[in-house]
Structures are given as structure tokens and as C-alpha cells.
Structure 1
Amino acid sequence: MKILQLFLLPSLTLAAALPTDFSPTVVPSHVRIVGVSLLGSGCPAGSADVQIDATKSLMEITFSEYIIQTGPGTRAADWRKNCKLTLNMEFDSGFQFSTLATDMKGFAQIPDGARGRCTNTFDFTGAPGQTAYAIALDGPREGPFDLTASPDIVSWSPCGGQTAIMNMNTQCNISPTQQQALIAVDRISGKITVFVNIAWRHC
């Protein structure tokens, strides 16, 4: 089964990327997902699941249909996959949150002269700005990958309420398309994994 996972969790290794008003001790006591919608070639209906753990900082999103491939016998729909997720988050009033970095793990088979690219973008309905993460998979490479990306700009969810709608768009593509190449699940774990560090702060 092909699975893409997203985790939201704090990370001490990314302290340099944190905003100056971030405090690792600031976490709402109540956080839950009250609604999820999915759209895209990488997440057909019924192929994704979203959960959040008891720490209020770890979110797991699994996709069972997410594989990109090029070469003979493939078509345009195989060369690029994406999934747009809209997550309605509920939490204690007086807080806002942001994503701070992504760590993506999976499997790639990219020949010399070919290039794979995965991007994960986040924004919040009603708030300006977008946080974007790009991961390059340049050939030649074959095997598992574990790559980290940090954004130049960090956007935050709006203040003034107890809910926020976070929009995530994850997409991967390979070019040129005539060469045989693949971005897929890790052959050992059976999943593509995206770890996303999240920070909370008081409004």
C-alpha cells in the first residue's frame, strides 16, 4: 500500500528557524480536528485519514494512493500528483499556530539528467501569507530519501477565535517525462512521510 504521512510535532533541532516570540511551553490544552476535506489525484475519496494525538502537536495524515512515475507507458496523470487538504482545527481561544519546517521521507528512483520535486504549502483561511517548503530530488539517485526543508516566510493562523482552517497542498512531479523515474513509498516502511514542525503562541 502506498502511504503518505504528515506529522506535526515540535523539534529542538529547528530552534534557529523559530520566531522570536515562540515558546515551546505554549500549547493549548484543547486541540482537535473537526472537519477534513480532500481533493486531488494523490488522494481519491476514501484514500486518506487524519488523526491528532494527545500532545496536541502531532497530526498524522495518511494517503494510500500517492505515486509519481515517468517513462514509457506512463501518461500525464502519472507525472504529477497532488492533494489539497482543508483541515478545520478547533483549539482554546487566545492561540494561533504555524508550520515551521518539513522533513520528508520516501523512495525515489531518479536517473541522471532527471529531476524530482515535491512541495508542501500551507495557508490559513482569513489570514495573509503562505508557508512553502520545497524538496528537490535530483538524479542520479535510487533508494530511500530523508530531506528537510525550511521556509523563508512563516504565516500564522488568525487570532480572535477558537477555530482555524488550515489549507495544505502537497504535490510531487518528475521531469523530463520521457525518462523512466519514480517517486513512491519507501520499500521498507511502505509510506512517504512528511514531518511538519508546528509552533503555538498566544495572540
Structure 2
Amino acid sequence: MPSMISQLAVLSALLLQAAAQTLSISSVGAIGTGCSPGTVKAHVNQADQSVSLQFSNFRADAGPNYAISDGRVNCQLTVGVQVPAGYQFAFDQTVLNTAYSVSSGVKVSSSTTYYFQGELSESSGTCGVTGPASSSYTTLVNRLSPTIWSPCGKASIVSINTDLRADNGNTNNSGSISVRNSTDASFIWRKC
């Protein structure tokens, strides 16, 4: 039995060591119909192991008084990150703090896709609400799949694209979704 206990102790130590790593951001760029330059801020919350993105006016609207283009907005962030030697990170989910109001026949949704520049694989997740429904503050969680790992132990650039949609299946009704305060992208570590 000591062999099993020592194996568990070693595994626990490795997991704690991986969790204790820090991610730092060296640059942030934003482009898209939902985020003009200077309207997005990003910072790393080491305690929660997440990257927090703060938007100033990120919303999608659908209905009789809106153009079709108002129903889909996106924000593509390009984030320079520093990864500790011997480690990789991956995002596992995004949590969007949102407000929405949708009439019958209208659906609002959020989706997130990320990839590391120079890599072919990407990870994505989507969630949505179909009307009638409304909430002045709720969280929508996009679980990202598959897990895509950063290059091992070096600086890299990760692109994170978030989009909001208001799809109007009933042209007489309306719907809207907006990000309130922030979106948090949580990350996980592993040794490489």
C-alpha cells in the first residue's frame, strides 16, 4: 500500500505545481463589429485562473426596427501571452455576464472560439436562450471543446473570438443580448 500512497502524493504534488503557474499578458488587440479599438480591456486573475475581458458596448439586436447586421456582432481579441517554461495552458470555458430580452420566436446566443496563432486546431463553445425570456443579469457558459493547448513554455499569441447573435424567426418580434461588465475565460495548466 505505501506504493499507492506515494504515487498519489507525487501526482498531487505535480497537479499543485501545475496549478501554481502564472500566465501574463504582454499585449491585447481588438477588432470586430462589437468592439471598436480602445473599448476592450483584458487582465489575468491568477487566483481564479482566468482571463477577464471587459467590454464597453457589446450587444446584438433583432426586430422590426433593426438592420440584419445588428443581429450579429463579434469581437476578435489577439492576446500576447507569456507561458512559463515547461508548461502549457488551455481555455476550458468562457462565462459571459449578460442581459437579454427575447420575444416569442427569437433566439439569442453567444459563442466563443479560440486558437493559437500558427496552429491549425481551434476550440469553440456556444449557448443560447429562446424566447419568450428576459433577464437583467445572468451568466451564459460556453464550454469549449476540444481542448487546445498552447505551445510548450514560450510566448505565444492566442486569438479569442466571441460573438453575440439575435436571430429573429418572427420578424414582428424583437430580441437583444448584451455583455454586462465582463467575460471570463478560465484556463487550465499541464506540464509539457
Fold similarity call, TM over 0.5:
yes
Match in the other structure for 2:175? 181
Aligned-pair CA distance for 1:54: 4.8
Structure 2, unaligned stretches of length 5 or more?
1-13
Please report the TM-score for the alignment, with normalisation by the length of structure 2: 0.82
Change (3 A) 1:146 1:132: same
Aligned residue runs from structure 1 range 71-110, under 5 A: 71-110=63-102
Counterpart of 1:68? 60
CA gap of 1:50–1:152, structure 2 versus 1, over 3 A, is: closer
User: Deviation string for 1:148-190 (max 9, x for gaps)?
Assistant: 332341111122x4212111000011112733111124xxxxx
In the alignment, the residues of structure 1 paired with residue 130 and residue 166 of structure 2 have an alpha-carbon distance, to the nearest angstrom, of 10
Instruction: Tell me whether 92-101 or 56-65 shows the greater mean CA deviation.
Output: 56-65
The answer as to 2:144 corresponding to 1:151 is yes
Contact 1:119–1:134 (CA<8 Å) still a contact in 2?
yes
C-alpha root-mean-square deviation of aligned residues, in Å? 2.2
1:200 corresponds, among 178, 186, 189, to 189
Instruction: Output the CA distance in 1 between the equivalents of 2:46 and 2:128.
Output: 33
Cα drift, residue 23 of structure 1: 3.1
Give the CA deviation at 1:70: 1.3
Shift of 1:199: 0.4
Residues 139 and 25 of structure 1: is their aligned pair in 2 closer, same or farther, counting only changes over 3 Å? farther
What is the one-letter code of the residue matched to 2:190? R
CA contact (8 A) 1:28 1:92 kept: no
Structure 2 SS opposite 1:23: helix
For residues 40-92 of structure 1, give each alpha carbon's deviation from its aligned partner in whole angstroms, at most 9, with x where no partner exists.
01110111111124548232211102111111321133211100001010132
Q: Counterpart of 2:36?
A: 44
Letter in 2 for 1:201: R
Partner amino acid, structure 1, of 2:49: S
Q: Percent identity?
A: 23
Give the letter aligned to residue 150 of structure 1. R
Report how many residues are paired. 176
* 3-state SS, counterpart of residue 26 of structure 1: helix
Task: Identify the residue that residue 165 of structure 1 maps to in structure 2.
Answer: 157
| Alignment-mate amino acid for residue 70 of structure 1 | A
| Residues 44, 65 of structure 1: 8 Å contact kept | no
**CA deviation vs aligned residue, 1:68-125 (integer Å, no higher than 9, x gap):** 1111321133211100001010132111100112232211101111111210111111
Tell me the TM-score normalized by structure 1. Answer: 0.77
Alpha-carbon distance, 1:24 to partner: 5.3
Residue aligning to 1:16: none
CA distance in 1, matches of 2:22, 2:96: 27
* Structure number having the greater helix percentage: 2
- Which residue number corresponds to residue 59 of structure 1? 51
Partner of 2:10: none
User: Bigger radius of gyration, 1 or 2?
Assistant: 2
Which ranges of structure 1 fall in alignment gaps of 5 or more residues?
Answer: 1-21, 186-190
